[in-house]
Amino acid sequence: MSNAEKTSTLLSLSTLNVLPQSVAHDGNTEVGLTRKGSETQFVALAPDASALKDFEGTISAANGQSLLVGPMNSKNIIALRKRLSWLTPRLLGLQTSAGFGDRLGIATPGHIRALRAVGGNIAPIFTQQSIREMTRTGRSAQQVMDDATWGVFAEGWTTGFGADADHLKTPADIDTCVAAGYTFFTIDPGEHVDNEADAASMDSLKAAYEKLPWDQLEDKGSELLKRYVGKVFKVEDHTISFDEHAVYKAGVKYGRAVAHITKMYRHLVEVAKVFELEVSVDETQTPTTHAEHLFMVSELKRLGVKWVSLAPRFIGRFEKGVDYIGDLTAFEADIAVHAAISRQFGPYKLSLHSGSDKFSIYAPAMRQTRGVVHLKTAGTSYLEALHTIAEIDPALFREIYIFGRERYETDKASYHVSASVEKAPPPSVPDAQLGSLLDDHNVRQIVHVTFGSVLKNPDFYTRIMAVLRANPDAYAANLVAHFKRHLEPFAK
């Protein structure tokens, strides 16, 4: 029960600055958050101290009851999840959805306010970070989960959310995220995709085809050829055909990926009670053709894999931090066929990875998928943190930008980016113009991909978090303004 449904004693305590939207009730116990300066703490009020024994904090008397004031730590959020069911992530199904990556762990309130501002029926994933990003930020899967849940609690978001263990590559990654309570598992088989297949000769393709892990695929090369060569598949108003070359290329390009996805899925079935699977092949060098999409999902179905979402490598360029680069008419024609495949062979959602700031493709994607789509964002929330810092502490932003320029050539290695330090504006612009630097393609990508180096620098991290924690509403307001542009096309 929320504070809107029951009188709040916590809010009446003049010694506390309780955040009204955070107040909730569990029987006779009332819980919430209180803020003093830049520090936010957990509070709980109950008729008797025994009702607070599962929480950590200092207990004192208040209005004839027992008041606990404690830290926003893992123990307290775990105890809250047991009391308030809406703090536990849930499955989202085929509902239009959006993922909100948060590299700092304090963006969820802004994400929620943006969702409320646009309305609609978008299912959110507030807990989302890849193992790669966790490594670069020095955060654990449990920390990511707990930080997002505290944000959900702070805003009183009771309508449910998902938790995405993003870009998992090993069974050990799965185990870590299952233990932390994730519900949505994104399998990244990118290392098993053969990016050379597109340009390979027929002889090379045949040689590579023979070496595929046929035992793991539970198949024979000759049998696979029989299933596809010369076949024409009718997919709604589209036809997809396979000649011999197309089958060899699809097999070589995605065969090992299919085997890896199957292995990961079967492990997930063994260790997770309930889950949703996303298949991601977006971080590869060449686009996923319609025939390759059909081939891959047909083979996954044959092997018993079930998934709710799939991220192909679409045509055009999905670079970090900037809008889609490519022909929009061609993109819409391309995703139209991918969407038809997803309806006929699923249904499952198409997922837009590296989806941050791809404003020009949101309407076409929503139109062609008929709303059966997932938008995945990540680094853009960090960019809005830097935007906030540029407004409040220009000197700190300037230092981060200078440092990012120095680190860019090294840190960009694992990202699809085209920025150039030489083309980026100099860091010597006046303080009042620093925020506008983030409108520049080159600057956005430079500071986007160097986040790990910045956040692992203790001085930068401490100062960044101090600014944002002292100005939470300013950060949230920037997130709302930015994410309304992301969400409005999907809220229709």
Same domain, 195 and 90: no
Per residue in 410-440, pLDDT (tens digit) is 999 988 899 999 999 999 999 999 999 999 9
Confidence of residue 260 (pLDDT cuts 50, 70, 90): very high
* DSSP annotation of 426: P
Residues 402, 316 share a domain:
no
CA distance 192 to 262: 12
With 0-12 / 13-18 / 19 or more C-beta atoms within 10 angstroms meaning exposed / middle / buried, residue 304 is exposed
Same structural domain, 326 and 202? yes
Q: Select from 357, 377, 397 the last residue of a domain.
A: 377
Q: Give domain status of residue 474, yes or no.
A: yes
226 and 92 inside one domain: no
Are 319 and 229 within one domain? yes
pLDDT tens digits, one per residue of 66-99: 999 999 999 999 999 999 999 999 999 999 999 9
Same domain, 113 and 23: no
**Statement to judge: residues 370 and 391 lie in one domain:** no
369 and 415: one domain? no
With both helix axes pointing from N to C terminus, report the angle between 359-369 and 472-487 in degrees, rounded to the nearest 10: 50
pLDDT at 6: 59
Q: How far, in Å, CA of 187 to CA of 420, rounded?
A: 31
Please report whether residue 417 resides in a domain. Answer: yes
Burial 90-120 (b: 16+ CB within 10 A, else e): bebebebbbbbbbbbbbbbbbbbbbbeebee
| Measured torsion, CA atoms of residues 364, 370, 372, 375, in degrees rounded to the nearest 10 | 20
pTM: 0.96
Query: How many structural domains does the chain have?
Result: 3
Same domain, 313 and 413: no
pLDDT at 2: 44
pLDDT score of 414 = 82
The reply to whether 422 and 317 lie within a common domain is no
Using an 8 Å Cβ cutoff, are 472 and 384 in contact?
Answer: no
Q: Which residues are catalytic?
A: 166, 278
**Same domain, yes or no, for 361 and 391?**
no
- Give the model confidence (pLDDT) of 340-386 as tens digits: 999 999 999 999 999 999 999 999 999 999 999 999 999 999 999 99
Strands 39-46, 29-36: pairing is antiparallel
Single residue among 330, 353, 377 that ends a domain in this structure: 377
Please give the angle made by the CA atoms of 84, 86 and 91, to the nearest 5 degrees.
140
Whole domain around residue 115: which residue ranges? 84-163+378-492
